[in-house]
Amino acid sequence: MLRTQAPPDQPDYPDPPLIEIRPAGQGDAAEIRNFINGLSLRTQFLRFFASVAPPSPGLLRGLYGADGNADVIIATRRGSVIGHAMAVDRTGADGLRASDVGVVVTDRWQQRGLGSALLRDVVDRAAARGVQTLVMDVLRSNDQMLAMIERRWPDSRREPDGNSVTIRTCLRPAGAGQLA
């Protein structure tokens, strides 16, 4: 479990509260719903490519990992979800394990390193499961995410598709836990 503190420049928080990053579960459904409902339309579109508030029951189940096919982690502050990351694993026709990854942080907490921490954690967890390739679908207008990906994986393969780009990057062999 990763713990970090809110930046000290928060005038409304004289003693910055801890942020906890942990796996999500069914007990988090209400807070994940509140989190999605609190995202701006822009942030919803950047992550989901559509407006998703309020989330459908099916989407909500997927966002807390009800079917067991997704590794879902959340960042919370004072019990409220402020960030969400997930990885959905699959095995390709070539036999290689890949993970589709998505990350979103509430508008107020963007540009503070929380998205990077969530991404690092979900990727480390995927590598520990033996995932060899990461796949991320990103809107071309999502400059923040594209820049973060470019910094972490400058050699990643980009496949343009209309208004989005699919990014593929290789992880080191299982157990290495670090990115290639």
What pLDDT, in 10s, does the model give residues 30-43?
999 999 999 999 99
Confidence at residue 69, expressed as pLDDT on a 0 to 100 scale = 84
Residue 178 falls within a domain, yes or no? Answer: no
Residue 78 falls within a domain, yes or no? Answer: yes
- If pLDDT is split at 50, 70 and 90, which confidence band does 14 have? low
Confidence at residue 172, expressed as pLDDT on a 0 to 100 scale = 66
The pLDDT of 10-28, averaged and rounded, is 78
Confidence at residue 92, expressed as pLDDT on a 0 to 100 scale = 82
Report the candidate in 88, 78, 134 with the shortest Cα–Cα distance to residue 108: 78
Residue 10 has pLDDT above 60, yes or no: no
Residue 60 falls within a domain, yes or no? Answer: yes
User: Which helix (H) or strand (E) is 144 found in, with range?
Assistant: helix 143-152
Whole-structure pTM value: 0.85
What pLDDT, in 10s, does the model give residues 159-174?
999 999 999 999 865 4
The two tokens of residue 127 are: 């590598």
**Sign of the CA dihedral running 180, 169, 19, 59:** negative
Q: Which residues pair with 83 in a beta bridge?
A: 75, 105
Q: Tell me the C-alpha to C-alpha distance, in Å, between residue 77 and each of 15, 19, 22, 74, 92.
A: 13, 5, 11, 10, 37
The Cα–Cα gap between 158 and 176 comes to 24
Q: Tell me the C-alpha to C-alpha distance, in Å, between residue 133 and each of 35, 49, 117.
A: 29, 22, 19
Residue 175 falls within a domain, yes or no? Answer: no
The two tokens of residue 31 are: 């807070």
Residue 180 falls within a domain, yes or no? Answer: no
What pLDDT, in 10s, does the model give residues 64-119?
998 888 999 999 999 999 999 999 999 988 888 999 999 999 999 999 999 999 99
C-beta of residue 38 within 8 angstroms of C-beta of residue 84: no
Q: Residue 90 is part of which domain span?
A: 2-7+16-170
Total domain count, the chain: 1
Bridging pattern class, strands 133-139 and 97-105: parallel
Residue 179 falls within a domain, yes or no? Answer: no
Confidence at residue 132, expressed as pLDDT on a 0 to 100 scale = 94
Q: What is the CATH number of the domain that holds 20?
A: 3.40.630.30
